[in-house]
């Protein structure tokens, strides 16, 4: 019964993520309202010619935003992420800071032009993204920064910059995706959920299996895969940022432990990068 209830809750929650632009999850003061908004935020616009990064930041939050931005740009990896969009005149990336979102960060309002080129996205962030940590499941990298006063403490600006890196990773994922396939997922996910709710929550239903094959996975699998890919991105940023810090090994050992315990099926994508398998922290 517990497993049945959890399956119902998880799939229902993921479905809410896939069709709503509102924050999806809230654990330990951190929300993530990202990437799965792709499903209901597909729009077609003219190709921009004056693109770049547009910062919509209220003056009262400007100083802290500049601190977070400087933290991201203090690394080569972060500069590459930022430069990808700052220097692209055919793409508009809007970063919007709001006092109503707390420690929430997300990615939405994806745009394509008439020929299928990805030309725009928005990253809405709260004014307190320098606080709030998600759980280790789905977020093994961000969770690794959770403060343990007895062992180490992470500067809040590093947490904020890591969240920004994570969200930029979602924009990059969308850039690499096929818009036609995203439209197909947009069409089939609601059908999947309706069948799931009507058949007694039986994920082994042949119709659901067929839909999952067409979509590239169940709604839950699609969502969690996106989160883990962006966590790989965040890990690469942290590797650059903490490479000369004493806390490097503690953070990366925690990432390894989180991945091993909560993301076993996704270990390969983390292990493709030397940051997680370096002998530097071997005991």
Which residues lie closer than 8 Å to 241 by C-beta, 6 or more apart? 71, 74, 75, 78, 158, 161, 162
User: pTM for the complete prediction?
Assistant: 0.86
In a domain, 39, yes or no: yes
For residue 206, the model assigns a pLDDT of 96
For residue 48, the model assigns a pLDDT of 87
- CA dihedral over 57, 61, 67, 68, signed as positive or negative: negative
Q: Which residues lie across from 124 on neighbouring strands? A: 96
pLDDT in tens, 153-188: 788 999 999 999 999 999 999 999 999 999 899 899
| Domains in the chain, number | 1
* Residue 190 contacts residue 16 (beta carbons within 8 Å): no
Cα 73 from Cα 64, distance rounded (Å): 14
Cα 21 from Cα 24, distance rounded (Å): 8
For residue 118, the model assigns a pLDDT of 96
Task: Work out the burial of residue 243: count CB atoms within 10 Å of its CB; fewer than 13 is exposed, 13-18 middle, 19 or more buried.
Answer: exposed
Range of the domain at 17: 2-181+219-268
Token pair of 58 as six digits: 């209220």
In a domain, 36, yes or no: yes
In a domain, 107, yes or no: yes
Smallest CA-to-CA distance from 19 within 40, 35, 43, 33 is with: 40
In a domain, 274, yes or no: no
Cα 200 from Cα 216, distance rounded (Å): 23
* Residue 85 contacts residue 52 (beta carbons within 8 Å): yes
In a domain, 121, yes or no: yes
pLDDT in tens, the chain (283 residues): 333 333 444 454 555 444 443 333 333 444 454 444 454 556 788 888 899 999 999 999 999 999 999 999 999 999 999 999 999 999 999 999 999 999 999 999 999 999 999 999 999 999 999 999 999 999 999 999 997 644 567 889 999 999 999 999 999 999 999 999 998 998 999 999 999 999 999 999 999 999 999 999 999 999 999 999 999 999 999 999 999 998 999 999 999 999 999 999 999 999 988 766 666 776 5
Cα 254 from Cα 243, distance rounded (Å): 15
In a domain, 239, yes or no: yes
In a domain, 202, yes or no: no
For residue 36, the model assigns a pLDDT of 43
In a domain, 195, yes or no: no
């Amino acid at each position: 019964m517990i497993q049945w209830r959890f399956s119902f809750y998880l799939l229902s929650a993921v479905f809410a993520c896939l069709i709503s632009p509102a924050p999806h999850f809230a654990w330990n003061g951190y929300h993530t309202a990202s990437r799965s908004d792709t499903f209901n935020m597909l729009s077609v616009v003219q190709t921009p010619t004056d693109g770049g990064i547009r910062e919509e930041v209220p003056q009262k939050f400007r100083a802290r935003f500049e601190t977070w931005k400087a933290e991201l740009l203090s690394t080569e990896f972060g500069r590459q992420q930022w430069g990808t969009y700052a220097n692209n005149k055919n793409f508009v990336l809007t970063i919007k800071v709001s006092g109503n979102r707390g420690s929430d960060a997300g990615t939405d309002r994806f745009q394509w032009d008439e020929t299928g080129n990805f030309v725009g996205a928005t990253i809405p962030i709260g004014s307190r993204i320098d606080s709030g940590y998600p759980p280790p499941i789905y977020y093994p990298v961000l969770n690794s920064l959770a403060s343990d006063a007895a062992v180490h403490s992470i500067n809040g600006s590093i947490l904020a910059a890591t969240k920004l890196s994570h969200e930029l990773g979602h924009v990059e994922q969308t850039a690499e995706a096929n818009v036609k396939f995203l439209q197909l997922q947009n069409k089939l996910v609601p059908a999947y959920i309706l069948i799931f709710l009507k058949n007694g929550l039986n994920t082994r239903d042949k119709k659901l299996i067929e839909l999952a094959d067409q979509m590239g996975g169940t709604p839950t699998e699609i969502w969690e895969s996106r989160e883990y890919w962006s966590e790989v991105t965040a890990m690469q940023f942290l590797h650059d940022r903490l490479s000369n810090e004493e806390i490097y090994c503690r953070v990366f050992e925690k990432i390894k432990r989180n991945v091993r315990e909560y993301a076993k099926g996704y270990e390969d994508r983390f292990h493709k990068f030397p940051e997680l398998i370096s002998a530097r922290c071997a005991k």
